[in-house]
Amino acid sequence: MSKVGILMGSKSDFDVVKPAVNVLKKFGVEVEVRVISAHRTPVEARDFALNARKNGFGAIIALKC
């Protein structure tokens, strides 16, 4: 099964994504939460997106606060 990547721009956003992480895990979905800012680390964000499928991600949830 593919995993889900949850991206947020700051560690302080974790409280917002935590309920989604809990629900996905409840259904047995592997979740990887990453702090990647499209503004502060655009190259890292680009590389993550371009390599997501190769790295086993079937979906990406990106938080914008």
pLDDT in tens, 1-19: 799 999 999 999 999 999 9
pTM, two decimal places:
0.89
Asked whether 3 and 28 are in contact (CB, 8 A), the reply is no
pLDDT attached to residue 64: 77
**Segments of the chain with pLDDT less than 50:** none
pLDDT attached to residue 65: 60
Place of tokens 């997501």: 52
Asked whether 63 and 9 are in contact (CB, 8 A), the reply is yes
Q: How far apart are CA 57 and CA 31, in angstroms?
A: 9
pLDDT attached to residue 63: 85
